[in-house]
Chain A
Amino acid sequence: MSLPYSEKLIKYFMHPKNVGEIEDADAVSTEESPASGDMVKSER
């Protein structure tokens, strides 16, 4: 199948960066759209 995604997107898709958990994070925020299946959780 030819993928309808850019090379850059595929690069980050295959090798995601800054993924993981911060113990005792100062702030945590989650944004999501269940209908479209998107969810992002960030910590700092």
Chain B
Amino acid sequence: MRTGTLFSRSINAEQEEIIFTSGDTESNNLTLNGIIEGNKDKQKKKILVSKIEHFSVLDTAKRLAKKGYAVDFINVNNEGFIDLNHLEDLIDESTLIVSVTHGNHEVGTLQNLKSISEIVHKYGSLFHSYATYSYLQVLIDINDIGVDLLTLFADKVHGSKGVGALYIRKGTPIIKIMEGGYHEYNIRPGVENIPGIAGFGKTCETYNDEETRKIKNLRNYLYSTIKSKIDRVSLNGASDFNKRIPNNLNVSFDYVEGESVVLHLDMRGISVITGSSCFSRSLHASHVLLAMGFSHERAHGSIGFGLSKYITKEDIDYTVYHVNEVIENLRNLSPLTKS
């Protein structure tokens, strides 16, 4: 089966509604810039994005703000869900496009895209969603959720790096932002990464619900084991685990700084992420956790775990054993523990 067909079927789209890109960063940049280029209605010049977007959306929106476009940022609550009332306050007939991530890249909260798209479309605006982290892990039916553009990325589903896709609903006014040919329905010039795209298609074909169920059970086991062994742990993201990406767990450990946890675990062969500023190249704490209303301390102590179909229960036990030991050692050093 053609790879384009595999993709379109996986989200219930038409084959000619999928174009391939170099990844999610390009797809998100193409979305915001290309929609602005293609816009014929000069009244529409406002862009709305959530405060917890990936930098490829957030920074593109900020760059457009510097160019004179009206850009606003939608609030989220303390579990990372979009504040629909705030969206209603910000949106009006001048809104060109709204962009909200489906499954958050950091805390894993899954938005109810349907309720957002209903509001967005009331004002004749376009709706884009960054779905890299939720794609294939939860059912995405673009006709049901009502998005106009959807970003996908191979890397997060065991495909290769350097391969992404963008779903563009038929009739959406978008213009290419690079010159160099007429590839991908004249929206994305440049020779496609055929081997990478074929591999992305294979991941699409082989992903199945059984694996997702297994990952979800292991994620739940990881959380319950951490909670049973370590005190002063707070869950970041949706408390209803059915409203999280199945392979995501993000928690904050009181009194420790994430960079130290990441380094100690790395030396024991365990890879995790942190929202601590010291570990980010920008030297800023996680904008996601801060937007959710949490303190710098909570952001600094946050650790994100990502699971996959290759993770076993033994891996989880190994991880929790070492996390427990590392947290205990760091708390013994921490000036916060006894303050």
Sorting the interface of chain B by its residue count into under 10, 10 to 19, 20 to 34 or 35 or more gives 20 to 34
The answer to whether A27 has its CB under 8 Å from any CB of chain B is no
In the complex the two chains form, what is the Cα distance from A39 to B336 in whole Å? 8
- CB < 8 Å: which of A3, A13, A30, A36 contacts B278? A36
B263 touches A13 (CB 8 A): yes
Residues of chain B within 8 A of A35, CB atoms compared = 277, 285, 296
- The proximity string for A residues 7-28 relative to B, scoring 1 for CB distances below 8 Å and 0 otherwise, is 0000001101001010000000
Sorting the interface of chain A by its residue count into under 10, 10 to 19, 20 to 34 or 35 or more gives 10 to 19
- CB < 8 Å: which of B277, B295, B335 contacts A36? B277
A37 touches B278 (CB 8 A): yes
- CB < 8 Å: which of A1, A14, A21 contacts B266? A1
B259 touches A30 (CB 8 A): no
B277 touches A37 (CB 8 A): yes
| 28 A-B residue pairings within 8 Å (CB atoms) | A1-B266, A1-B271, A3-B263, A3-B266, A5-B263, A13-B263, A16-B333, A19-B332, A19-B333, A21-B338, A30-B335, A30-B339, A34-B295, A34-B297, A35-B285, A35-B296, A36-B277, A36-B278, A37-B258, A37-B259, A37-B276, A37-B278, A37-B300, A38-B278, A39-B335, A40-B335, A41-B335, A41-B339
Closest 5 CB pairs between A and B?
A: A41-B335, A37-B300, A34-B296, A37-B257, A36-B277
Which residue numbers of B lie inside 8 Å of A, CB to CB? 257-260, 263, 266-267, 271, 276-278, 283, 285, 295-297, 300, 332-333, 335-336, 338-339
